[in-house]
Amino acid sequence: MTKRGRERETDGDLGGNAGPSRTSGEQRETEAEEAKAFEELLGDSLRGWDARIEPSVPHLLELEELVSSHREETRRKLRRELAKLWLLGLPIIVGMLMLFRWNAIVFAIAQGAAVTGAILFLAVDSRRNREGKRRWSS
């Protein structure tokens, strides 16, 4: 153990009140000595290390590119989904029109079934939401 370490240990054991405590001037001197020693030992290496590390700050142009590419991707996804919807929609609409031309009563029943199904779905969803909220708040 170093001399300084031993001194520190002794100070700790005595708790500052027991023996003759060091004056603040002495303490300051010791701290300055330690700082000097630290500077001599590691100062250059630390400065070199700091100089080597350069935080990579993204350029404004890169950020703009990132945002525009994300927007383009979102738009492309929406277009793809809309194309899917229209592909699905055409047979449904044509089917409903053919049903109407074939038999108006069956068409009316299908329309009624669609409304009933939709309302049932919405009611179940609303009930599930209310239950979830109640469970969350209690």
Partner 1 sequence: MELLDMAVLAGAVLILLGQSTWLYTDARGRSRYPWFWAIWGLIQCPMPLIFYWLIVRRRKR
Footprint of partner 1 on this chain (CB under 8 A)? 78, 81-82, 85-86, 88-90, 92-93, 96-97, 110-111, 114-115, 118-119, 121-122, 125
Nearer CB in complex with partner 1: 38/121? 121
- Asked if 100 contacts 107 with a C-beta cutoff of 8 angstroms, the reply is yes
Nearer CB in complex with partner 1: 28/133? 133
- Asked if 110 contacts 99 with a C-beta cutoff of 8 angstroms, the reply is yes
Least distance CB 119 / partner 1 (angstroms): 8
Q: Which residues have CB under 8 Å from 106's CB, separation 6+?
A: 99
| Residue whose structure tokens are 């000595």 | 33
Length of the chain counted residue by residue: 138
DSSP secondary structure letters along 56-101: -PPPHHHHHHHHHHHHHHHHHHHHHHHHHHHHHHHHHHHHHHHHHH
Nearer CB in complex with partner 1: 10/111? 111
Least distance CB 65 / partner 1 (angstroms): 25
Least distance CB 38 / partner 1 (angstroms): 57
Nearer CB in complex with partner 1: 49/121? 121
Least distance CB 115 / partner 1 (angstroms): 6
Q: What is the largest distance, in Å, between two alpha-carbon atoms of the chain?
A: 110
